[in-house]
């Protein structure tokens, strides 16, 4: 593919709910642009952008993929994104670099949860938006109903610029409101004709509303319009394009990806109304503590932002990056602003699905791929040497579901750590934690499917097989009253023996105050040099666990007396005596189990608020308050025992039909009720 100047580039992401037809629409666009010879299908696994076997098996997009094509002298960098909640991290990544988000909405199913989710992200990032109402040729499809839903959910900026001709199976064309012409697709290609009589009145009404909505955004155009001067098509398109670039107007077009009907018109509007990189605000980067703006100047200093990393067992790491400034060419040398590593872009390429095509250069605003960089990860910025800068990080949804993994064999164990690191480089929404308390390796993600597919990739790409275990809860133990005991360690054998005696008093401290050791020994009953050994013995015993085997916290231990032998006493003897004394005193001090409690923030539509609050109560949770968000949703703030929300991501999705989302953070410990102790201990043992 040749090199295009920034003004001829359109970076477009297809976003929306799973099943709305994004991948099929990508295929239809590529077909109309003659980039492919036929339209592949998701069911057959023959699409350009669904490249992984896991995508073929499940017939769903699980990772973003590029598919650039040429249209009317422009380069459109098309990014197909997942529509399933478990893979929302890639939606964030795509929207961080695109200049236009095309929301694909099913005319059968209307506005669904992931459409709203992606809209909120695009709104937060200020990304221009356009909407393609798809599947108008399907049974129960309704353009008008879907348009009403769009306006109800997203406001007055929704502006239809096309109307469908025919319904369901009879759908065969569209009316273009700018040019007052109909585009009929009975022969497979658009035939431009006059507007059919049966839709003429509706077209005139919507056309007039469209013109009025456009001219009010431009004072000069409005003045001419009020004087009776009808704006030209070029004037209308130019004014609307400005509104699109400013993310205040959201054009609605329609068609069928499987037809394909009016897909070529969508490509036209991407070129005509969609902003180029030059129409978007300058990139904001940090140079030290100072934030600066970087103009998208192809003649400026080269600067690139890595928004996605692909891990391949054979090719190695492939970094997808957007050029923020300058022009990248093969053999460009840049420095990673995070690691300080000098990186050589030996070759640069475009990605077409999983295929790469080398290019001679990429100017500011373009998206390219580079392979085998030394130490560059998703979110990194590459800049000229001695001029390090960092771009804004990609905000991603928090991992909400965890599973414990164990290598199936020793061979798998040898490769597990390295392979997990490669997987994390590819999917920054994942998280791996080594829990030192429970001695488990925890893999966390956005949902059950996310985790399952990650383990499948781990096996397929890197040959590492793992077994899953339930995640253990990090319980603690403490005491409720004071108790004392004398710890003794006496052992006599040939030569020197072992002798140490210490009297310990154990008592409770306030929750979260930790451990305190007090030395009240007087008169030399225990020599000063053995007191640290007593403390060490206590600490080691607390770490080993109390009555139920969990670490002991929030206790005060006082040593106030003891005995020693001038020959047989040693640090080891007093450490062992302290261990014995602590265990005995602990058993008499009313030991209890503490469970971790998480602060949970759950955001749901109002109609699900009652159900969610009732569910929280059933989990022994306590609602601390609620708040209303700007979009009308409710956020519930609650404290819930961590053990009760280990699988909450799955349950919340079920309760709210996918609309709910939450974050959780462990904040404190509280006493586990007595009636639950044995049950919890049995589950932990199992």
- Between 266 and 568, the more confident residue is 266
3-class secondary structure, 352: strand
122-138, pLDDT tens digit by residue?
Answer: 999 999 999 999 999 99
3-class secondary structure, 679: helix
Domains and CATH numbers, the chain: 6-168+250-277 (3.40.50.300), 283-391 (2.40.30.10), 401-469 (3.30.70.870), 477-590 (3.30.230.10), 594-685 (3.30.70.240)
Q: How far apart are CA 524 and CA 332, in angstroms?
A: 74
pLDDT on residue 438 = 87
Q: How far apart are CA 19 and CA 21, in angstroms?
A: 5
Q: Return the closest-CA partner of residue 669 out of 584, 535, 587, 550.
A: 550
635-668, pLDDT tens digit by residue?
Answer: 999 999 999 999 999 999 999 999 999 999 999 9
In our burial notation (b when 16+ CB lie closer than 10 A, e otherwise), range 633-664 reads bbbbebbbbbbbbbebbebbbebbebbbbbeb
517-566, pLDDT tens digit by residue?
Answer: 999 999 889 999 999 999 999 999 999 999 998 999 999 999 999 999 98
Q: What is the mean pLDDT of residues 379-408?
A: 92
Inter-residue contact 588 to 513 (CB < 8 Å)? no
* Sequence-ordered strand ranges (E) for 72-185: 74-80, 100-106, 129-134, 158-160, 162-165, 173-176, 181-184
Tell me what percent of the residues of the chain surpass a pLDDT of 70. 99
* Per-residue pLDDT at 674 exceeds 90: no
User: Within 13 A of 646's CA, how many CA atoms are on the CB side?
Assistant: 13
pLDDT on residue 684 = 64
* Per-residue pLDDT at 388 exceeds 90: no
- Over its C-alpha atoms, the chain yields an Rg (Å, rounded) of 32
pTM higher than the cut 0.75: yes
313 pLDDT tier (thresholds 50, 70, 90): low
pLDDT on residue 212 = 87
State the alpha helices, DSSP H only, in 172-309.
197-215, 219-226, 233-245, 263-272
Give residue 178's Cα distance to chain centre: 39
Q: For the purposes of burial, counting CB atoms within 10 Å of the CB of 255, is it exposed (0-12), middle (13-18) or buried (19 or more)? A: buried
* Per-residue pLDDT at 495 exceeds 70: no
CA 249 vs CA 67, 113, 291, 612: distances in Å: 26, 22, 29, 35
To the nearest whole number, what is the mean pLDDT of the chain? 94
Placement of tokens 């007093």 in the chain: 574
Q: What is the mean pLDDT of residues 446-475?
A: 94
H-helix or E-strand spanning residue 632: none
Inter-residue contact 446 to 84 (CB < 8 Å)? no
CA 518 vs CA 348, 486, 504, 539: distances in Å: 65, 16, 10, 13
Inter-residue contact 127 to 98 (CB < 8 Å)? yes
Look up residue 667 and give its two tokens. 């904040």
Q: Which residues are registered as beta bridge partners of 343?
A: 334
181-184, strands of its sheet edge to edge:
162-165, 173-176, 181-184, 191-193
How many other CB atoms sit within 10 Å of the CB of residue 443? Answer: 26
* Per-residue pLDDT at 149 exceeds 70: yes
CA torsion sign for 461, 466, 471, 472 is negative
pLDDT on residue 399 = 94
628 pLDDT tier (thresholds 50, 70, 90): very high
Q: For the purposes of burial, counting CB atoms within 10 Å of the CB of 676, is it exposed (0-12), middle (13-18) or buried (19 or more)? A: middle
17-44, pLDDT tens digit by residue?
Answer: 999 999 999 999 999 999 999 999 999 9
* Per-residue pLDDT at 406 exceeds 90: yes
Placement of tokens 């506005």 in the chain: 111
494 pLDDT tier (thresholds 50, 70, 90): low
Look up residue 677 and give its two tokens. 């102790």
686 pLDDT tier (thresholds 50, 70, 90): low
User: Within 13 A of 399's CA, how many CA atoms are on the CB side?
Assistant: 17
167-207, pLDDT tens digit by residue?
Answer: 999 999 999 999 999 999 998 899 999 999 999 999 999 98
H-helix or E-strand spanning residue 343: strand 342-345
Angle between the 197-215 and 219-226 helix axes, to the nearest 10 degrees?
Answer: 130
Q: What is the mean pLDDT of residues 473-502?
A: 90
Q: Return the closest-CA partner of residue 471 out of 326, 642, 320, 671.
A: 642
Q: What is the mean pLDDT of residues 354-375?
A: 95
Q: How far apart are CA 346 and CA 348, in angstroms?
A: 7
* Per-residue pLDDT at 214 exceeds 80: yes
Q: What is the mean pLDDT of residues 268-288?
A: 94
Look up residue 481 and give its two tokens. 């009253």
Give residue 230's Cα distance to chain centre: 47
Inter-residue contact 496 to 567 (CB < 8 Å)? yes
Q: For the purposes of burial, counting CB atoms within 10 Å of the CB of 371, is it exposed (0-12), middle (13-18) or buried (19 or more)? A: middle
Look up residue 588 and give its two tokens. 């008499």
Q: What is the mean pLDDT of residues 68-78?
A: 98
pLDDT on residue 685 = 65
Q: Which residues are registered as beta bridge partners of 174?
A: 164, 183
């Amino acid at each position: 593919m040749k090199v295009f100047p920034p003004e001829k580039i359109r970076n477009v992401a297809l976003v929306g709910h799973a099943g709305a037809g994004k991948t099929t629409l990508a295929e239809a666009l590529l077909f109309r642009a003659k980039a492919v010879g036929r339209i592949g299908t998701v069911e057959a696994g023959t699409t350009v952008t669904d490249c992984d076997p896991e995508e073929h098996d499940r017939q769903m997009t699980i990772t973003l993929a590029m598919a650039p094509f040429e249209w009317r002298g422009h380069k459109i960098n098309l990014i197909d994104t997942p529509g399933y909640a478990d893979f929302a991290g890639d939606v964030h990544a795509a929207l961080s670099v695109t200049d236009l988000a095309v929301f694909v909405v099913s005319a059968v199913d209307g506005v669904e949860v992931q459409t709203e989710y992606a809209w909120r992200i695009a709104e937060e990032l200020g990304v221009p938006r356009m909407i393609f109402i798809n599947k108008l040729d399907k049974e129960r499809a309704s353009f008008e109903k879907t348009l009403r839903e769009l306006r109800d959910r997203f406001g007055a900026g929704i502006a239809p610029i096309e109307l469908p001709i025919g319904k369901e199976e009879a759908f065969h064309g569209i009316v273009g409101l700018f040019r007052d012409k109909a585009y009929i697709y009975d022969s497979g290609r658009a035939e431009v004709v006059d507007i059919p009589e049966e839709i003429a009145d509706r077209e005139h009404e919507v056309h007039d509303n469209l013109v009025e909505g456009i001219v009010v955004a431009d004072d000069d155009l409005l003045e001419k319009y009020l004087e009776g001067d009808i704006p030209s098509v070029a004037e209308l398109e130019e004014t609307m394009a400005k509104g699109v670039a400013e993310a205040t107007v959201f054009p609605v077009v329609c068609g069928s990806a499987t037809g394909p009907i009016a897909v070529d018109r969508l490509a036209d509007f991407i070129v005509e109304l969609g902003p180029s990189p030059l129409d978007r605000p300058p990139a904001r980067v940090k140079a030290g503590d100072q934030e600066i703006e970087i103009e998208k100047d192809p003649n400026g200093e080269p600067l690139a932002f890595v928004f996605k990393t692909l891990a391949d067992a054979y090719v190695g790491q492939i970094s997808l990056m957007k050029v923020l400034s300058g022009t990248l060419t093969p053999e460009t040398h840049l420095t990673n602003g995070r690691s300080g590593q000098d990186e050589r872009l030996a070759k640069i390429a475009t990605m077409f699905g999983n295929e790469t095509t080398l290019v001679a250069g990429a100017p500011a605003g373009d998206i390219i791929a580079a392979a085998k960089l030394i130490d560059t990860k998703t979110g990194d910025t590459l800049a000229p040497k001695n001029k390090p800068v960092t771009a804004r990080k990609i905000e991603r949804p928090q991992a909400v579901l965890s599973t414990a993994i164990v290598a199936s064999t020793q061979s798998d164990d040898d490769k597990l750590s390295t392979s997990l690191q490669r997987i994390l480089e590819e999917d920054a929404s994942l998280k791996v934690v080594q829990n030192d308390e429970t001695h488990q390796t925890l893999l966390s993600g956005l949902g059950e499917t996310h985790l399952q597919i990650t383990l499948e990739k781990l096996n397929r790409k890197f040959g590492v097989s793992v077994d899953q275990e339930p995640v253990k809860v990090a319980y603690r133990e403490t005491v409720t009253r004071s108790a004392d005991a004398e710890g003794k360690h006496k052992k006599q054998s040939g030569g020197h023996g072992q002798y140490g005696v210490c009297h310990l008093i154990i008592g409770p401290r306030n929750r979260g105050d930790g451990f305190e050791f007090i030395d009240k020994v007087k008169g030399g009953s225990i020599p000063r040099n053995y007191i640290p050994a007593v403390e060490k013995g206590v600490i080691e015993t607390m770490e080993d666990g109390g009555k139920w085997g969990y670490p002991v916290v929030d206790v005060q231990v006082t040593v106030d007396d003891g005995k020693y032998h001038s020959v047989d006493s040693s640090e080891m003897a007093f450490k062992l005596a302290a261990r014995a004394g602590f265990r005995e005193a602990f058993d008499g001090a009313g030991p209890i189990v503490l469970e971790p409690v998480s602060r949970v923030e759950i955001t749901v539509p109002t109609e699900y608020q009652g159900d969610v609050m009732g569910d929280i109560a059933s989990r022994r949770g306590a609602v601390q308050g609620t708040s209303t968000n700007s979009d009308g949703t409710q956020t519930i703030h609650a404290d819930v025992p961590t053990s009760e929300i280990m699988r909450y991501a799955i349950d919340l999705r079920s309760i709210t039909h996918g609309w709910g989302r939450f974050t959780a953070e462990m904040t404190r410990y509280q006493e586990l009720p007595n009636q639950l102790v044995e049950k919890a201990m049995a589950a932990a043992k199992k």
